[in-house]
Amino acid sequence: MHAVMVPNAVEAKHMNGLSKHFSERQVIEVVAIIPLLGFLNRWNDTMATTLENSP
């Protein structure tokens, strides 16, 4: 949740918490997907993208 805030509110304690449960590579993947999904949500809102009824 802190990663989607503007400005970014991620602190060392958040990253340390992730590292207790995930490898460094997994943490990078989790953290990398957050801004990507935020971008896609904003893109779809801006472009008024029509989404399918069921995936």
Determine the Cα–Cα distance for residues 29 and 26; give it in Å rounded to an integer.
5
What is the enclosing helix (H) or strand (E) of 43? helix 24-47
pLDDT 10s digit of each residue in the chain, 55 long? 677 776 788 899 999 999 999 999 999 999 899 889 988 988 999 999 988 888 7
Question: Is 31 within a domain?
Answer: yes
Contact yes or no for 3/31 (Cβ under 8 A): yes
How many CB atoms neighbour CB 32 within 10 A? 9
**How confident is the model at residue 6, as a pLDDT?**
66
What pTM was estimated for this model as a whole? 0.65
| Domain membership flag for residue 21 | yes
Q: Within a domain: residue 36?
A: yes
Position 14 in a domain: yes
Which range marks the domain in which residue 33 is found? 6-40
The domain tally of the chain equals 1
**52 in a structural domain:** no
CA 16 from chain center: how many Å? 17
